[in-house]
Structure 1
Amino acid sequence: MSGKRTQWVPDQHGAWAMLTVPYAVGTFLGHPVWLHLPLFVCWLLAYATAFHLQQYVRLRRLSRNPRAAGRHVKPTAVFAGALAVLGVPLLVLRPWLLVAVAAALPCFAVNTLYAWRNRERALVNGLLAVFPACAVLLVALRLGGGTITEGVVPAALCFLYFAGTVLYVKTMIRERRNRRYLYGSIAYHAAALACAALLLPMAAVLFSCFLLRAAVLPGRRLRVRTVGMVELACSAGLLTLLLSFS
């Protein structure tokens, strides 16, 4: 039973913080309403649908085993069906959400193209996925009666952090022997620290910690679980910082 469940749940564990932190910030910076709950479920269903669809597209092109792609058909259909059942009433109640959906489609299309080309781990592809994940903060904030202007700084800080994780995690796992990635990650985090300090001076301490971990931890042969726990702590710190806006 657990094996079947594993096949349904997307295995990109690092994505969950990116899906939840900006949404939570947008929800609680505004005024939480009951519609935030179904919208959050739709957000997760959209991610799961996109994940399985892109895996189907990738494996259908590359794998000689038809079952490899076929095992993603049912999850795609179930998640997409649930998304439609829950999402259509939301769009009827809040038609402006169509604008948010339309804005996310180009990123989804490019991510799907990268999946078709079997280049999901490409740096550009990872950075593109960060855009809608952080922009959902603005959607959640607007749903609670807030304004886009109020969410610009928190969304920008989310992007600065999560874009950095794309680089940092590569230096810890897939590109751990690539010095160019390491130097690029350190340079990015230094620039992100400067930008964050300009946007919100009190963010400088937290982003200094992000820079420190990007400079010190690569090369220390940490377990993947440990890398994940560090990122969980960093995400919790970001969430705490941004909720101080409220």
Structure 2
Amino acid sequence: MSPKHGISPWVPNQHGAWAMLIAPAVAGTIASLNYFLTDATEGELTWRGPTAVFATLVAWFFGYFTFFALTLVAKARTPQRRSAYARPTYVYGPITAIAAAVTLLAHPALIVWAAFFGPLMSLALWETFHGRPRSMASGISTTLASALLVPVLWMAAHHVGFGAIDKQVWISYLFLALYFSGTVPLVKSMVRERNTPGFVRLSVLLHVGALLIFLAACALSAVRITVPIILMAIILALALLRAWWIPRDAARGHTWTAKKVGKCETPLVIAATLVTVASLY
């Protein structure tokens, strides 16, 4: 289907989703390359690590392309559009399956992640096929799934078991998961729920909770407090501040469209990605 006749099912058009796709992929890939080039010994560096990382990235992106097409199928109102939207799944689906198979061939222990991605993506699909593609549950489940790519790529690169994942990696995952999850209620407070009483307060409280959860996790895990960890806390604090300020500024009469909110979010997304990369070094 041409974009002239509606949304193209071949290329996802959600800019926020692209940020959630790319940020953990960039952080995990750079950390993997750093390991391959500087930290891995000659005995540790085999074909399995690089193959597992590359295949995981292919499965990740094409898996999302498949998911995006399925969401359009779920929302299609005519059989013609449903058929057109389904076409990419016949291309992207097999590519995803082949890439996933190659990943497991290179590192079979990665199958453990099915226990995490399965429920999260099933929840998102459930919400979509029940007419709630932009619900809080759907949005947060996909953000939690996207951040998981960081420990997945780390495990793939190091060719270790699930239990060997470094706590610094888990903190990095938690940071990205909390940060991107916060963007869901923020955007809703400015678009779909802007007239819902108390929703802005809920958004702010969720951001407060995110910051407290991050600080508690750092304290309980006894992770080494480094500059990246401190910057992560600052970014979550800034995210809390903008969750309060943007709706307040809109209430004063200033126009805040979803596109404008997205542009305002860009510096924080870039900062979150860079800090995550730094934390994994």
Indicate the residue corresponding to 1:92 in structure 2. Answer: 105
Normalising by structure 2, we get a TM-score of 0.78
The whole-number CA distance in structure 2 between the counterparts of 1:80 and 1:123 is 26
Query: Per the alignment, do residues 188 and 46 of structure 1 end up closer, same or farther by CA in structure 2, a change over 3 Å counting?
Result: same
Residues 134-178 of structure 1: CA deviation (Å, up to 9, x unaligned): 111110111121742331100111111011011101112211222
| Matching residue of 2:173 | 155
What is the CA-CA distance between 1:8 and the residue it aligns to?
A: 1.2
For 2:50, the equivalent position in structure 1 comes to 34
- Contact residue 58 and residue 117 of structure 1 kept, 8 A: no
1:6 aligns with 2:11: no
Tell me the distance in 2 between the aligned counterparts of 1:67 and 1:110. 27
Which residue of 1 is the match for residue 245 of structure 2? 216
Q: Which runs of 5+ in 1 are unaligned?
A: none
| Equivalent residue, structure 2, for 1:172 | 190
Instruction: Return the offset for 1:29.
Output: 3.4
Task: State the distance in 1 between where 2:71 and 2:8 align.
Answer: 17
Give me the identity figure in percent. 26
Alignment of 1:80-229 (within 5 A): 80-145=93-158, 147-148=164-165, 149-198=167-216, 199=218, 200-218=229-247, 219=250, 220-229=254-263
Q: Displacement, 1:109? A: 1.8
Asked whether the equivalents of residues 107 and 129 of structure 1 are also in contact (C-alpha less than 8 Å), the reply is: yes
What is the letter of the counterpart of residue 50 of structure 2? W
Q: Which runs of 5+ in 2 are unaligned?
A: 37-48, 219-228
Deviation at 1:56, TM superposition (A): 1.8
* Alpha carbons 1:27, 1:140 under 8 Å: kept: yes
What is aligned with 2:273?
239
Report the counterpart of residue 18 of structure 1 in structure 2: 20
1:188 Cα deviation after fit: 1.5
Q: Is the 8 A contact 1:197 1:203 kept in 2?
A: no
Between the aligned partners of 1:37 and 1:228, the Cα distance in structure 2 is: 29
Question: Offset of 1:99 from its aligned partner?
Answer: 2.0
TM-score by length of 1: 0.88
Deviations 1:179-205 (Å, cap 9, x if unpaired)? 421001111212222333443344332
Q: In structure 1, what is the Cα distance between the partners aligned to 2:75 and 2:234? A: 41
AA partner of residue 223 (structure 1): T
- Which amino acid letter does the alignment assign opposite residue 47 of structure 1? Y
* Bigger radius of gyration among the two: 2
Distance (whole Å) between structure 1 residues aligned to residue 109 and residue 56 of structure 2: 13
Read off the aligned partner of 1:98 and give its amino acid letter: I
Pair 92,142 (structure 1): closer, same or farther in 2 beyond 3 Å? same
CA distance in 2 between partners of 1:194 and 1:201 (Å): 13
RMSD of aligned alpha carbons: 2.3
Counterpart amino acid of 2:26? A
Following TM superposition, by how much is the alpha carbon of 1:122 offset from its aligned partner in structure 2, in angstroms?
Answer: 1.3
Number of aligned positions between the proteins: 242
Residue pair 1:45, 1:82 contacting (<8 A) in 2 also: yes
Q: Which moved more, 1:49-58 or 1:126-135?
A: 49-58
- The one-letter code matched in structure 2 to 1:48 is F
> In structure 2, how many angstroms separate the alpha carbons of the residues matched to 1:195 and 1:91?
33
Aligned with 1:70 (options 76, 80, 83): 83
Once the two structures are overlaid, the 10-residue window that deviates more, 162-171 or 183-192, is: 183-192
How far 1:2 sits from its partner (Å)? 6.8
